[in-house]
Amino acid sequence: DIQMTQSPSSLSASVGDRVTITCQASQDISNYLNWYQQKPGKAPKLLIYDASNLETGVPSRFSGSGSGTDFTFTISSLQPEDIATYYCQQYDNLLITFGQGTRLEIK
């Protein structure tokens, strides 16, 4: 099974800061990497698909990059409503794996 290593596990940043989260796959997954946002008590929400494509309706301050085994998720200017936990997710022939999650807090 493909393992996903996501870091950091938690992050504290100020409004307006640039925030970066990384995800590393245990083997090459091409660009089959998605990013989700989950707020407390809610289902996850898809933000970025295929490593770098912004889901419809998602603000442009969110972005993703990478391919192969190393991926990055960025919030260009942190907003108060971005407080949530973020997960990466890989897809390998119908089987999926999530990263451990990154809890984002406002400093």
* Residues at the site binding another protein, with contacts judged by CB under 8 A: 1, 32, 34, 36, 38, 43-46, 49-50, 55, 87, 89, 91, 94-101
Q: How far is the CB of 14 from another protein (least distance, A)?
A: 25
Q: How far is the CB of 57 from another protein (least distance, A)?
A: 11
Residue whose CB is less far from another protein, 1 or 14: 1
CA dist., res. 47 & res. 36, Å (int): 5
Residue whose CB is less far from another protein, 17 or 53: 53
Instruction: Read off the amino acid at residue 43.
Output: A
What residues form DSSP beta bridges with 51? none
Residue whose CB is less far from another protein, 28 or 50: 50
* Three-class DSSP labels, 57-90: CCCCCEEEEEECCEEEEEECCCCHHHCEEEEEEE
